[in-house]
Amino acid sequence: MQNEDFIPIGFVRKVHGVYGEMRLQVREAFIDDVLKARLLFINRLGKPSPYFVASIRDAGNILVKFEGVNTPEAAKQLNGSELLMRRTDILHPTEEAEAEALPYAALLGYTIFDTDKGFVGTIDEVIDMPQQALAAVMYEDREVLIPLNEHFIQAIDHAGRRLTMELPEGLLEL
């Protein structure tokens, strides 16, 4: 299959429990599809790799257990990986849902540098709020939420997984 046959729908967030279960970050438009999926794909080295769903549940967060991933160590290898679905597996595909597919969520794991302060931190989570997306970053031993706003973003280096931003004065001190 070619990559055009896949739609990016979210990310593997982190390990949950001791049996290889993982928390997923899924775009709202695709939650119902993911909860009914028996097969999901993870972007591994630029290619979709199939993972069969052993169990999946919504416990406030979507938790998935893939067949063959039975330990926290095995699950940890998938942390931060892009989650994909085949276009044909999406029950009600819409152009709106596909357009929404990953504007800022794709920046998970990128390092933020401020044009004035230099290194800020690594994006641990992308939080979709109705008004805008926020990057959760550990800065000086505390979590800071940084608006992912095109006015603040100066450059994106996808190869180096680096985001250069010009943050408003005082934002990191809030």
Positions of E strands within 17-81: 21-26, 39-44, 47-58, 62-66
Class of domain 3-87: mainly beta
Give the per-residue pLDDT at 99: 46
The model carries a pTM of 0.57
Give the per-residue pLDDT at 67: 95
Q: Count the alpha carbons within 13 Å of 41 in the hemisphere toward its beta carbon.
A: 22
Tokens representing 53?
Answer: 């769903």
* CATH, range 105-173: 2.30.30.240
Yes or no: say if 69 and 20 are a contact pair by the CB < 8 Å rule.
yes
The CA distances from residue 120 to 125, 160, 167, 172, 173, in Å, are 14, 15, 10, 9, 12
Residue among 143, 153, 147 nearest 122 (CA): 143
Instruction: Identify the DSSP state of 128.
Output: E
Give the per-residue pLDDT at 139: 93
Yes or no: say if 16 and 71 are a contact pair by the CB < 8 Å rule.
no
Determine the Cα angle at 156 with ends 155 and 157, to 5°: 120
- Region for residue 58 given its phi and psi (left: phi exceeds 0; alpha: psi -120 to 50; beta: otherwise): beta
Give the per-residue pLDDT at 114: 93
What CA–CA distance (Å, rounded) separates 57 from 34?
10
Q: Where are the domains of the chain?
A: 3-87, 105-173
What CA–CA distance (Å, rounded) separates 77 from 128?
25
Q: What is the mean pLDDT of each run of 10 residues along the chain (174 residues)?
A: 69 88 86 92 85 91 93 89 86 54 72 93 83 87 88 79 89 84
User: What are the two backbone dihedrals, phi and then psi, of residue 34, each rounded to the nearest 5 degrees?
Assistant: -65, -40
Yes or no: say if 81 and 66 are a contact pair by the CB < 8 Å rule.
no
